[in-house]
Every structure is written in structure tokens, then in C-alpha cells.
Copies of this chain bind each other. A is one copy, B any other.
């Protein structure tokens, strides 16, 4: 077949906004960019979409390159295409965000990229329009987590309710009453109580829970409404 003639062809990139949670605060994984322009500056992990791969495949490839992880939560966020967003050459970038269990992350793989986890509240200046990408990602996560149980993707298989609450409090930047939180989260039927406890955080220890995966997939579309004050989203 003939090609579409006279049309502009351009570069298509993928940028990954990678979130983690260490039990205390939300974190963002950044790399030191290895080539010009902006070489040596903090940047999201990214790369160009190859001729033979889909955009989703490209995003997964790029995420794996940096983290060594496959099968993690990865969602297309938004496509950024201001003509001069990359001063070198017109490049449209499809941003994805990933939620990963920070414990599964293997440091060694990413040493090539000089990757580092930053507290989300203390991120360095990012290149190009990546600050805007990050802002949108934060917004989207809140939006989605208000109704869908995506935040479990940030926790290890076994987690405690206080851990889960801390995570929600981080994401929504608020405080939640402990009694009401556990009541609601248990009422979803998504959690299975285990017999052992996490003794790290307290003397008494908190019971571990794990996801009931059947209910998880069934209820993914309609989970609960956790936002204390939706005005701030």
C-alpha cells in the first residue's frame, strides 16, 4: 500500500512516573539523564517507541529496563505534545504512571541510570514538561484511588491496616480516624486477616492482611469513597 504522503512524521516517546511507598511516605523514582539535552539532570525514566511495538509495550519495556519488574500496575496517563517541549526535535510523549511495591525494586539494575527514590514532597526540578506530568499523575492517582483499590499495588503482599491507613493519609494528604478507617476498609470484604503479626512498628504488633484477589478483581470498578473532602482533588 502507498503511504500517507506530505504528512509530518515525529518522534514518539514514553515517560514513566514511578511511585513507591516505603511505609512512611510516597516516593518517586528518577534517573539522571544520560544524554543531551539536559544530560545529567533529574528526569523521569523514558524512551522512544520503537517501530514494531505498541505504546503499552514500550512503557512496560522502559519500566522493566529501570526496575527489573514486570507485571506491575502501569496505566496510561496523558499525552503531551507541545511543539517545543523537547528543544532538540519535536517529540510527543505518552506519560504512564506505575505503582510498584518498593520492596521488590532491585537497586542493582538501575545503577546504570543513577536512579534514586525521592520523597514526593521533595522532588528535584525536572526537565522539559515533566513537572506537569508529575502533577497530573498525582491528581490521577488521587482521583482513581478515591474509588478504586489501586493503592494496594504500592504495598507488599502482606500488609497491616495501620500501614494501609498511612498510605491513604499520604495520598490524600489528610488524617483519617482509625476506627472509621478500619471499619470501612474491612467492610469492603477485600481483606483477609492472617494469623501472624507485624512486630516492626509496635510492641503489640499489628495483624497482617492480604488481598482477597477474587473480590479484588470483582470490586475493582466500585470500591469505596475515601476522600474526606473532595474539593481538594
| Interface, chain A (partner B; CB < 8 A) | 1-4, 7-12, 36-37, 48-56, 76, 78-79, 81-83, 87-92, 94, 147, 221-222, 225, 230-231, 233
Interface pair B82/A54, CB less than 8 Å apart? yes
Interface pair B81/A54, CB less than 8 Å apart? yes
Copies in the complex: 2
B residues in contact with A222, CB < 8 Å:
230-231, 233
Select the residue from A8, A51, A222 with max chain B CB neighbours within 10 A. Answer: A8
Q: A49-B81, A222-B231 are in contact. Are A10 and B8 (CB under 8 A)?
A: no
- How far apart are the CA atoms of A135 and B37 in the complex, in Å? 39
Interface pair B54/A79, CB less than 8 Å apart? no
Q: A55-B92, A233-B221, A233-B222 are in contact. Are A81 and B12 (CB under 8 A)?
A: yes
B residues in contact with A2, CB < 8 Å:
36, 88
B residues in contact with A76, CB < 8 Å:
78-79
- How far apart are the CA atoms of A198 and B79 in the complex, in Å? 43
Please tell me which one of the listed residues B51, B52, B94, B221 contacts residue A231 in the complex, with CB atoms under 8 A apart.
B221
Q: Which 6 A-B pairs have the closest CB atoms?
A: A55-B81, A9-B9, A8-B51, A222-B230, A79-B79, A7-B48
Q: A83-B54, A94-B79 are in contact. Are A11 and B7 (CB under 8 A)?
A: yes
